[in-house]
Amino acid sequence: MYLVMGSLLPGMTIVVVVVSVSTVQGSADPNWCYWHIVCKIYLPIRELAARFSKSTRNPAPAGWLGRVSQDRGNEIVRIRFVRQIAACLLVSSIPVLAAPAPDLIVYGDYVLTMDPSRPEILDGAVVVDDDRIVAVGTREDIDARFVASRTLPGAGRVVMPGLINGHTHTAMTLFRGMVDDLDLMTWLNQYVFPMEGRFVTPDFIRAGTGLACWEMIRGGTTTFVDMYFYPDEIASVVADCGLRAVVGAPHIDYPSPGFKGWDDSFAAAEDFVRRWQGKHPRITPAFAPHAPYTVVPEHLRATVEKAAELQAPITMHLAEAPAETEFVSEHYQTTPVQHAARLGMFEQPLIAAHMVQLNAEDIALTAQGGVGAIHNPTSNMKLGAGISPVPEMLAAGVNVGLGTDGAASNNDLDLWEEIRMAALLHKVASGDPTALPAGQALAMATRLGAAAIHMGDKVGQLKPGLQADLIQVAVDKTRHQPLYDVTSHLVYVLDSTDVVSTVVAGTVLMEERRVLSMDEAALRKAVAERSAEIRAALAQQAKQ
């Protein structure tokens, strides 16, 4: 217990009694403490009357300072302040910092932190202040120390980090189901590239990206890595809807929407990175050369040099399909991974999407270069691209995340499907049911996924000091009974409709399945207008 006395005004005595002080367990700052105080301010009656008479001809209104009562024998007025205002007075005399009331507490019957040092907390809570997590613990511990201005109840719910989609093309939601059951190169060259040239405009990007963001918020994805045309439009939608994103500015050697070829697309990419770098806390601009078969070596080297100059990450398709492997082998006498490494691409933070066609040397180079590999199981299976050697990469120390790819080749952005698909695919591919356990698959969408996109110090775990990106999922429905192992249950039972709340940077984007940060009616109207144009074009193409 501390007793501190001091004076704010002449003749005024302030007594602050700190009856308990303790360090906040699990706080990122060991000096961040909470305290319970009893505060009384004593002022002689004559002095009080004199001060009031100087300031106004009328008596002070009742309740202006609080309830006033006379202490017997001492002729002292005691003023009780409703709130503990003395917390900000005389703190220099006490070796403590007062903890403000946090903005949000999120409760759960289970808190799955994805932090290896404390993976699961029963009947727990996560405390959020501003955009960061300040404490994680049991409900009893948290309630004893914090009173938040807002809470999300946790009965029948699991609290966990938000999911991370390491590779997608958000605006391609408008091409969802446009054409299916084709190999990658036929799909790209005969359908996707021509339709992009015809329909992709800033309005198309805004509508398609908005649709994708709405779907991801509903499914519990809080961070994604995008690479698509008109990245300024993508970044603006992300800024408005509340999600977190690495937004890649694409550049390619061929004509593309808005560009004649490499020179103008690369210049625009540089301008985009400079324009957005450090300008928004939830948006990371990146360079996004398309692939080794669409960007020549000297242009990939130029990308590396510019990314190094601006300290920006790179994201690209790499080792995706057999046709790419054959192209690189024929033209450069090596593999796609070794080709990229020779060009210096592994010297910059690289997010490599797909990573399917790999040999042992490729895997070793990927691990040595600190490359983040993004596994897209559904898209790779749908396009017949092959099966990424994920267990081998993980064993070699590669950070492997999960991605949906664009909705045109998936056909949704449901990361829960990718988690389950990854866990199952590698069991059947290897004949080993332990090849990719549930916990590892879930980590690929959270902790490992964050490391793969070079944001492991910001997101992917529920730890004090990290960004407050988290979700609540409901496990109280009849179909969820019984529940024995939370991690296994999330991977093999849960789906995106079980996500009830989504929080990014401390802001609640969805509560009780209602998206708060987007206008769904306006979004549907914009999507309907764009999709009507595409539908008419497909009908015309079918007649030819």
User: Binding site for Zn(2+), residues?
Assistant: 167, 169, 317, 405
Residue 177's Cβ-count burial label (10 Å; 0-12, 13-18, 19+) is: exposed
Phi and psi at residue 265, in whole multiples of 5°? -70, -35
Secondary structure element (H or E) that encloses residue 132, with its range:
strand 132-138
**Cα–Cα distance between 286 and 313 in angstroms, integer?**
5
CA 239, 199, 175, 371 torsion-angle sign: negative
The angle formed by the CA atoms of residues 133, 136 and 139, to the nearest 5 degrees, is: 130
**Cα–Cα distance between 468 and 450 in angstroms, integer?**
14
Annotated binding site: 167, 169, 196, 290, 317, 320, 405
Annotated binding site for substrate: 196, 290, 320, 405
> Helix (H, G, I), strand (E, B), or coil: what is residue 163?
strand
- Annotate 456-483 with b (16+ C-beta within 10 A) or e (fewer): bebbbbbbbebbbbbbbbbbeeeeeeeb
Residue 143's Cβ-count burial label (10 Å; 0-12, 13-18, 19+) is: middle
Write the CB contacts of 290 (distance below 8 Å, at least 6 apart in sequence): 227, 250, 251, 252, 316, 317
Q: Nearest Cα to 392, choosing from 355, 418, 428?
A: 355
Side-chain-side CA neighbours of 94 within 13 Å: the count stands at: 28
Q: Are 473 and 499 in contact (CB under 8 A)?
A: yes
The angle formed by the CA atoms of residues 258, 264 and 269, to the nearest 5 degrees, is: 85
Tokens for 325, please give them.
Answer: 């492997």
Cis peptide before 411 (omega within 30 of 0): yes
Residue 160's Cβ-count burial label (10 Å; 0-12, 13-18, 19+) is: buried
**Residue corresponding to tokens 């929080």:** 503
